[in-house]
Amino acid sequence: MNTLHLSREETARAAELLRQGGLVGIPTETVYGLGANGLDGEAVSRIFAAKGRPQDNPLILHIPGPEWLERYCQNIPQTAYRLAEAFWPGPLTMILPRKSMVPDAVTAGLDTVGMRCPSHPVCRAILLAADVPVAAPSGNTSGRPSPTTAADMAEDMDGKIDAIVDGGPCSVGVESTIVDLTCTPPRLLRPGGVTLEQLEQVLGQVAVDPAVTRLMGAGERPRAPGMKYRHYAPKAPVTVVAGAGETSAAYIAAHAAPGDGVICFDEFASQFPQQVVRTVGPARDTEEQARHIFQALRAFDHTQVTAIWAQCPDSRGLGLAVANRLNKAAGFQIISV
């Protein structure tokens, strides 16, 4: 089976494929998603097969606006609408009690469902034309870094899905923030494009799920099932070096072998003349880092490096999401300096 490569203008075709039960790569502002009609359990099951995704890991539904929430969710708290007003369309997913019409294939049998309203204009055009909620995980093979370009998605999915729509590089670069509104206080399950500080401005107190910042122990179950898996991982093992930029750069320069991979902030690139270097942006610019982090992790799979070292931002603002992706890629192998 060949994968169609569609231009951003061919949204009607993509929508038709989705309505017919096809699998379509869709651009969003966060990462590319692997979409299927979220009301068609069989189509949704094919997402799991294409990704090699564990069956117990639920999918989120993409909708064009908060007015669709009531179709698929019940007992919706007012806070959902306040968050939607502040951050939708945009990189925020809310976990809400689901209605029974949502197929079990989407929710992996949970009584909740993740709802997201993306801002990417091509994605919005597809959602409106399809006129169904679109179930879409990130468009990578399970465990690999998420794709932030159509080419990255094709690398993982060509031949396994019906089409990919090219909407250009993703503007956020890390996946949506997930907040669980079925508990008190609301709980951050995955840091992403909307920061914890922004959530707190609307919600007041927000709990942070332990899976965001540390490895889950045997028998522990994070509230977002996907947070328990090794994720975002290139083939070579990653070691994160956390601390001030100068200090972490010096540590890596002292410990990396010639030929090792290094993910670093722009201003430190020259300190690694014998290593394979990928820069992600200036040390202070976490937005830029978020846009490049997945491509940096992916790039090493096209090289011979056998170990990767990474500088890591602190947890303010988008830094929490960038650090989370790096720490997960490293299996929480973190050296604090």
Task: Return residues touching Mg ion (CB under 5 A).
Answer: 138
Q: From the list 6, 113, 264, 326, which residue makes contact with ligand TXA (rule: CB under 6 A)? A: 113
Pairing of strands 112-116, 60-62: parallel
* Count of residues that interact with ligand TXA, criterion CB under 6 A: 29
Q: Which two tokens stand for residue 195?
A: 């920061």
Q: Cα–chain-centroid distance for residue 195?
A: 14
Shortest distance in whole angstroms from residue 37 CB to ligand TXA:
15
Neighbours of 89 (CB within 10 A): 21
46 touches which of ligand TXA, Mg ion, none (CB within 5 to 8 A by kind)? Answer: none
Q: Which backbone phi and psi does 312 adopt, to 5 degrees?
A: -140, 135
Q: Of these partners, ligand TXA, Mg ion, none, which one is at the site of residue 133 (CB under 5 to 8 Å by kind)? A: none
Among 50, 73, 80, 227, binds ligand TXA (CB under 6 A): 227
Q: In terms of CB distance, is 290 or 305 closer to ligand TXA?
A: 290
Site string for ligand TXA, 58-77 (x = CB under 6 A): xxx-----------------
Report the residue from 25, 33, 89, 234 that binds ligand TXA according to the rule CB under 6 A.
33
173 is a site residue for ligand TXA (CB under 6 A): no
Least distance between ligand TXA and beta carbon 258 (Å)? 36
8 A C-beta contact, residue 36 and residue 44: yes
**Does 51 interact with ligand TXA (rule: CB under 6 A)?**
no
Gap between the Cα atoms of 226 and 223, Å rounded: 9
Tokens of 90: 């945009």
For 221, counting Cβ atoms within 10 Å of its Cβ (0-12 exposed, 13-18 middle, 19+ buried), the class is exposed
- The DSSP H or E segment spanning 294 is helix 286-299
CB-based contact 50:161 (threshold 8 Å): yes
Stretch that binds ligand TXA, among 12-20, 25-33, 271-279, 288-296 (CB under 6 A): 25-33
Q: Cβ of residue 38: shortest distance to ligand TXA, in angstroms?
A: 12
Distance in Å, CB of 123 to ligand TXA, minimum: 8
DSSP string, 165-210: E---S-SS-SPPEEEE-SSSS-EEEE--SS-HHHHHHHHS--EE-G
Compute the least distance from the CB of residue 328 to ligand TXA, in Å: 11
Residue 189 found at the interface with ligand TXA (CB under 6 A): yes
Q: Does 116 bind ligand TXA (CB under 6 A)?
A: yes
Task: Compare residues 67 and 111 and give the one whose CB is closer to ligand TXA.
Answer: 111
For residue 279, state whether it binds ligand TXA (rule: CB under 6 A). Answer: no
- Binding ligand TXA by CB under 6 A: which of 11, 112, 119, 195? 112
Q: How far is the CB of 21 from Mg ion (least distance, A)?
A: 22
H/E segment holding residue 6:
strand 4-6
277 contacts 324 by C-beta, under 8 angstroms: no
Report if residue 28 touches ligand TXA, rule: CB under 6 A. Answer: yes
Contact set for ligand TXA, span 118-157 (CB under 6 A): 136-138
Q: How far apart are CA 234 and CA 236, in angstroms?
A: 6
What's the rounded Cα separation, in Å, for the pair 3 and 310? 34
Q: Interface with ligand TXA includes 179 (CB under 6 A)?
A: no
Alpha-helical (H) ranges within 30-97 are 41-51, 69-72, 78-87
**Residue of 145, 226, 245, 261 that binds ligand TXA (CB under 6 A):** 226
Containing 292, the helix (H) or strand (E) segment is: helix 286-299
Report how far residue 92's alpha carbon sits from residue 82's, in angstroms, rounded to the nearest whole number. 12
Residue ranges that bind ligand TXA, judged by CB under 6 A: 28, 30-31, 33, 57-60, 91, 93, 95, 107, 110, 112-114, 116, 136-138, 175-176, 178, 189, 223-227
